Amino acid sequence: MKASLRFLAWLFWTIVASLISLFLLILLARLFFFFFPSMTVYNVVLWINRNIGFPEAYYLTGVPILMLFSLYFYRRSIRRHEKKYLELLIEEVHKIEAGSVRKIPVENVGQLGQLATDINRMVDRLVTSIEDERRAEQTKNELITNVSHDLRTPLTSITGYLGLIEEDRYRDEVELRYYVSMAYEESLRLKQLLQDLFEYTRMQNKEMKLQFTRINLVEMLHQMAAHFGWQLQENGMECRLYLQGPLYVQADGDKLRRVYENLITNAIRYGHDGKYLDIRGWQEGDEIVTEVVNYGDPIPTADLPHLFDRFYRVEKSRASHTGGSGIGLAIAKHIVDLHHGAISADSNEYRTAFTVRLHRDSAKNSSGFTP
């Protein structure tokens, strides 16, 4: 629309200026004949007719005038447009300086248009930076809120039980040992929470470095099942392993163990009613797929997409004594992502399964077997 108006203005002033110029030429001609009466109009017309011709005379007079004024008003229109656009750029830059993040309309005005494009890119980066800063601030506030809540719960329990012991408010040694045992369990929970927070802080600061080695997941998962044997026994559960052949991956053993420790701990904590904990593993194309399955209460469908968000916990687990820190699965996902793998969860009324997919290590082992 603006371009059409500029074209019409240019055309209008070109025609007007050309007509005025022709009128001035006629006026000058009359003044010439007035001051030189010996030079008659008849003589001039006769000379033009013999040497130029009347149509050609009009062309030679009118066309250069028209082109001259066309070029002049075109350049004038461009200069005015550039001036207005430059004023707009200056005004928008001042608004950006004042805190506005509105983009500048880009127009085809030579280098000014490119400048507007560059300013818009700067605005995009500024908006992204502001959003990142806001998210970081929100994350910090969430961290403070959740840490305060999670630290207060075990500390309150520990101080409560120790207070009962300090005031000799127990009936016999059995009750005393019960109070000590509960305080010890809460201290272990507090220790695990602090370890999770430390791990999460390292993850956020990108301090988590991986040392890749060739690992057979079958051996690792057998060792971990044995390691959790006493916890499984205490919760009345049985671990069943379904692992198909050697499953080799290139991974950081300590970090990967942290992933499966978290998945197995969650399976014991929330799936002990199902009696069984199944660990499955198999090769699927170029991937090694493992599952940690429990048969306890299902996870609500609405909660599944958020399980790996930091500090997210299914509400019923947050209120219960067995509630975790809410960052274990976020740490597990981050570790799997660093291994360029994928982790997901699926739950129905029969079972809850956490699936980890890692790239298969195709290098031959010492016996020449390629998994």
Indicate which CATH number applies to the domain containing 175: 1.10.287
Please give the pLDDT value at position 368.
Answer: 35
The neighbouring-strand residues paired with 39 are none
Residue 82 in domain: yes
Is the domain of 295 the same as that of 341?
yes
DSSP state of 101: -
**290 is in which domain, residue-wise?**
213-359
Is the domain of 93 the same as that of 23?
yes
368 conformational bin, left if phi > 0, alpha if psi -120 to 50, beta if neither: left
Is the domain of 181 the same as that of 79?
no
Is the domain of 221 the same as that of 345?
yes
Residue 106 in domain: no
Q: Which residue, among 223, 353, 362, 346, has the nearest Cα to 283 in the 3D structure?
A: 362
Residue 121 in domain: no
Q: How many residues in total does the chain contain?
A: 371
Tens-digit pLDDT string for the chain (371 aa):
555 666 666 667 677 776 777 677 666 666 665 655 655 555 655 555 555 455 555 555 656 666 766 766 666 677 777 778 788 888 878 777 777 777 777 777 777 777 888 888 888 888 888 888 887 777 667 767 766 766 777 788 888 888 888 888 888 888 888 889 888 888 887 887 787 777 777 766 666 678 899 999 999 999 999 988 888 888 899 999 999 889 999 999 988 998 998 899 889 988 888 889 999 999 999 999 999 999 988 888 888 888 887 666 665 444 444 455 567 788 888 889 989 999 999 999 889 999 999 999 876 543 333 33
User: SS3 letters for 109-169?
Assistant: CCHHHHHHHHHHHHHHHHHHHHHHHHHHHHHHHHHHHHHHHHHHHHHHHHHHHHHHHHCCC
Residue 149 in domain: yes
Please give the pLDDT value at position 143.
Answer: 66
Identify whether the C-beta of residue 355 lies closer than 8 Å to the C-beta of residue 290.
yes
Residue 140 in domain: no
323 conformational bin, left if phi > 0, alpha if psi -120 to 50, beta if neither: beta
Is the domain of 61 the same as that of 156?
no
Last residue of a domain, one of 156, 177, 204: 204
How far from each other are the two terminal CA atoms of the chain, in whole angstroms?
68
Q: Which residue, among 191, 184, 193, has the nearest Cα to 158 in the 3D structure?
A: 184
Identify whether the C-beta of residue 183 lies closer than 8 Å to the C-beta of residue 157.
yes
- C-alpha 354/C-alpha 310 separation (Å) is 17
Residue 131 in domain: no
Angle formed by the axes of helices 111-166 and 173-204, nearest 10°: 170
Is the domain of 218 the same as that of 85?
no
Is the domain of 248 the same as that of 310?
yes
Is the domain of 326 the same as that of 242?
yes
Number of separate domains in the chain:
3
What phi and psi values does residue 329 have, to the nearest 5 degrees?
A: -70, -30
- Alpha-helix residue ranges (DSSP H) falling in 167-252: 173-204, 217-227, 229-234
Is the domain of 265 the same as that of 285?
yes
Residue 19 in domain: yes
* Two structure tokens written together for 236: 């009345």
Is the domain of 294 the same as that of 335?
yes
Is the domain of 265 the same as that of 355?
yes
Residue 56 in domain: yes
C-alpha torsion sign, points 18, 21, 25, 31: positive
pTM of the entire predicted model: 0.56
Q: What is the CATH number of the domain that holds 237?
A: 3.30.565.10
For 300, how many CA atoms within 13 A lie in the half-sphere containing its CB? 8
Is the domain of 199 the same as that of 222?
no
